[in-house]
Structure 1
Amino acid sequence: MKPALTVLLATPRGFCAGVDRAIQIVERAIEKYGAPVYVRHEIVHNRHVVERLKAMGAVFVEEVGEAPADRPIIFSAHGVPKSAPAEARSRRMLYLDATCPLVSKVHVEAQRHYDAGREIVLIGHAGHPEVVGTMGQLPEGAVQLIETVEDARTFTPRDPSNVAFVTQTTLSVDDTAEIVDALRARFPQIAAPHKEDICYATTNRQEAVKAVAARSEVLLVLGSANSSNSVRLAEVGRRSGARAYLIDDADGLDLAWLDGVRTVGVTAGASAPEVLVEGVIDRIRESFDVTLDEVDTARETVSFKLPRVLA
């Protein structure tokens, strides 16, 4: 007889509207213009999504200059510095922008603060493509990157009364709140985003993980190691009391993790397809008598329009 195991499924999980739109842009561009279509940087940070699109005819490059000028190029969901579309225009390339609209909103905010003469702080992770893209909206040195509470305590602005902050959209909600508190304590007049920069999908998935992890001994997060929002989900799960593992797919699951376990939570990062969740549950079912329980903390109804040329 198989041991009993309750699987708590975090809802919402998996694809967000920005990821869904970005993937559709690549698929439709291949349909419309034929293969190959070039994509600057991984369209979203998920190995399975990237491999599937490669098989359809997408070619992933790191810079615009690596793509031939006579083929379309797509900018990833993370956003790009202004230099990328400028280079595409100078080479007379057809380019499609799959930047998530919620990332574009942060770009607009940063520009607004810059135009108002404020010194801008970006809370985020160095080297992440979204951070590179946001910092690349403005001249070199216009944006200071803050990664930790310690950075917030030691940052020295030119004019402490004229500072603004924006954030990466895929950060830990709790960590970011601590950094913002540290900034506000030092600069009470700091200009904040009109509405939270951390996107609805990141926030919702972290809240769902808190609810599931509090009731689980083990938490499995489906997502790639370079996916910021997936890594954050595993961190949130650990803080909420579960042993959390970030895995790409069912092959990454070590069933020894579930020895003697009665309740396991399962979620997926915003760039991870639902088929990966199904694969993990199927693998668990091979060894356990599974009871599935969906833990629903929010309903998502957001959707984003495709670029006009593809709609």
Structure 2
Amino acid sequence: MKINKRTAAELAAPIVVASGVFGASLRLFDYAFKRVDYVPETSADKQKYADAYWQYMDWYKQVDKATWQLHPDDAANHLVAHFIPAANSKRVVIISHGYKGDGATMANYAQMFHRLGFNVLLPDNRSHGHSAGEYINFGWLDRVDYLDWLKKIIDTIGTDAEIVLFGASMGGATVEMMSGEKLPPQVKVLIADSGYSSIEAELAYLLKKQFHLPKYPFVPLVSLINKRRLGYYLNAVQSTTQLQKNHLPIFFIHGDHDVFVPSEMAFSNYRATQGPREFWLVKGATHVESFWQDPERYQRHIVDFLKKYLPEN
């Protein structure tokens, strides 16, 4: 059978389109998931907090701290954290950082908790900072790594340790995802600032908002790529599903002007959890801006929550 040029073009068109869509999905995956070895500049609306941020960073550089490691002989799974000790304290907070940040970028929260008498552990999550990894996993693999960090804390501090899990943005979602795991009894409370309800929903939201692209076919293709690269489909990465297994007290914090992780996701997370729960919706705050708006007010809310669910002995 002879195929003319027009028929050949008509037959080839779907293949060309599919190839183009898949190529675009590969580029989207690399853009969103591939590690970068620098901390990107903050958004323009938060530049007004730059001086305060660098003051916290100066404190972090000067404070006494130790380097902790997991799997130091395994190049693919080598993880690094920094531990800031507090004198005569059994209280520890693990602080989980945001997307393309590292432990040091959480210096403001670290100083706040340290002044409240907490030992502070600041991990660099997989594919961030000094830790190994090629692709960002948005908290799903990190939640398992944090179980190892918890074991190391208990081995170091003792079985009478009292542990708080705190995270912001991707770190908030990481804490929410940890909530569904079998946590040791030393973990007492959780605090999640600006965490998303699922990475699939977050990716679809940002595709539409930032790139004006539909969820289909891009999100399913990115999910397929993620399955090949990291071993799971994106619909596995659900804060809400994990929170349905949680019975620990949890404090949700979210800005009502957050256009990166919409506050509707925080409400979904709040409804999903099965434990005691509190929610502070911060008026006028954009993404992870609640602390920077008023650090003293932020600390008061944290302290009030801890007094209720983790009182001093």
Q: Does the alignment reach a TM-score above 0.5? A: no
TM-score by length of 1: 0.30
Q: Which has the higher helix share?
A: 2
Query: Which one has more relative contact order, counting CA pairs under 8 Å at least 6 apart?
Result: 1
TM-score by length of 2: 0.30
